[in-house]
Structures are given as C-alpha cells and as structure tokens.
Amino acid sequence: MEIKIIIQRQENPDTKPYLQTFLYKGDGALTVADLLAEMNAREPLMDADGKPAPRISFASSCHEKKCGACAMLINGTPKLACSVFLNTAVQKDNTVHLAPLSKFPVIRDLVADRSATFAMLEKMQVWLTRKRDEGEEQARQLQYAAGQCLACGCCLEVCPNYLAGNAFGGAAAMIQAYKAIEQNEDDAHRAELKKQYEEHFFNGCSQSLACAKVCPARLPLETIQARANAHLLKKHSILQKR
C-alpha cells in the first residue's frame, strides 16, 4: 500500500503554514506517532517530489495514551497520534492529513502551544489547600475519572466556545475545577473555586457536549459537568435563602 501523508508544516510561530506531502509504503500497521518517528529517521527525509525536507516536529512521550502530548488533527479530527493506526486513518483516496490543533498557537509543524490551558487553571486557582478524604462512592469514582484527564486539548479543539487565551476554559478546565471543588476542605477556597468555575466555564458553556464525543480518555464529561453545576446551583440557592 502506498499512502500519501499530507502534513501542515510551519517553521516557527511567525511564518505561514504550508502543506508538504510524503510517501509511505507498507501495510500501515503502525501508529501515526510511530510513522512520524520512522519518517524522521529517513536519511535523508525527502518529500513526495523527491526534494529534501526538514525533520517533522511533533510532540510525544508515553506512546500509550497516557500523557496527551501527541494530540493533533488527523484528517481534521483531534486525536492522539500514538493511538491511531495508519491503516485505520487512511482515506479512500489513500491520503492521511496531519495538522496541529488549531485552537492554540503553533510552535512548529505539529507542535501546538497548549500552555493557555495551564494558565487558565492557575487563573481559576485550581489547587487543593487542604484535601478532604471522605465522600460518597460515586463522587470518589468521578474524582478518580477526572484525575485521568490528559490535558491533551482534544475537547478544546471541537468546543465552539473555546479559543486559547479567552475567558472560557472549556472542558479541560471544568474537569479540574470539579475535582478541586469536591476535594477541597477549605471553605473559603472552595467558594472562590465555584466563583471561578461560574465565570470561566458555567457562563460560557452552551452544552453541545461535542467535547465528550472526542475525549480520547473517554471521561464521563457530561456527568462530571452535571456534578460541578450542581455545586454551583446549590451555592446560589443558599444565597437566595439568605
């Protein structure tokens, strides 16, 4: 099988992106991340026209769906490159398209700068002052699930309301805020977390749940969001009683 790998390339944040095509010959029984590593090991790396090409920058670490570093657009859909096999990604015209996540600034080629997601957590004060240990079983299970978030940004890519640097933090922020609200023993900090959750998630989420459909960790985003919202609505009903 001969597959055309069409990659959106960009030398640095200030240059324009362009497309470059490479050829792969084989049965496609390797992941997209392994394919990129194989291409970078070619000596020299040539494009489909036989011209020398610079090495392809991409991020990866664990190669087993645990770190989120390799998130990119594969045929326009956000996925983890280490979890997608080339023979499942190839389209009818024998092409596979690779591009960086589009909601973040590009550092180089397929590497996007996702630091805005971590800056948002800092802004929302998502950390534990004092950890609470008790809690009902369902909450513990959801908190554990929330802890599996890879911070990959796939949910942010498909979110109609997210753009890096804006006030809305998307599902990646929601899930961490939820965990911190439930696990925090400190009342004042928990109240602040709810305020931040309202401002940076609740007020901006339009409930499309596109995020849940693409999450590579298959996290129960709808249930977690419902739990987090319930904390907020409880807060408001208490305020109303007062």
Q: What is the CB neighbour count within 10 angstroms for residue 115?
A: 13
Beta pairing, strands 2-9 & 95-99: parallel
Write the CA distances from 138 to 93, 127, 142, 146, integer angstroms: 47, 21, 6, 12
* Candidates 65-73, 100-108, 119-127, 202-210; binding stretch for ligand FES (CB under 6 A): 65-73
Residue 159 binding result from ligand FES, ligand SF4, none, given CB thresholds of 5 to 8 Å by partner type: ligand SF4
Write the CA distances from 212 to 18, 112, 222, integer angstroms: 31, 21, 7
Which residues form the interface with ligand SF4 (CB under 6 A)? 68, 149-155, 159-161, 170-172, 175, 205-211, 215, 217, 219
Binding residues for ligand FES restricted to 176-235, rule: CB under 6 A: none
CA neighbours closer than 13 Å in the CB half-sphere of residue 139: 15
Instruction: Please name the helix (run of DSSP H) or strand (run of DSSP E) that holds residue 99, with its range, or none.
Output: strand 95-99
CB-nearer residue toward ligand FES: 65 or 140: 65
- Alpha-carbon distance 39 to 213, whole Å? 31
CB-nearer residue toward ligand FES: 60 or 117: 60
Residue 210 binding result from ligand SF4, ligand FES, none, given CB thresholds of 5 to 8 Å by partner type: ligand SF4
Report the b/e string of 15-52 with b at 16+ CB within 10 A: eeeeebebebeeebebbbbbbbbebeeeeeeeeeeeee
Alpha-carbon Rg for the chain, nearest whole angstrom, is: 21
* Candidates 17-25, 58-66, 137-145, 227-235; binding stretch for ligand FES (CB under 6 A): 58-66
CB-nearer residue toward ligand FES: 65 or 123: 65
Residue 175 binding result from ligand SF4, ligand FES, none, given CB thresholds of 5 to 8 Å by partner type: ligand SF4
CB of 68 to ligand FES, least distance (A): 5
30 lines the binding site for ligand FES (CB under 6 A): no
CB-nearer residue toward ligand FES: 66 or 131: 66
Report residue 121 as tokens.
Answer: 């957590």
Interface positions with ligand FES (CB under 6 A) = 33, 60-63, 65-70, 80, 82
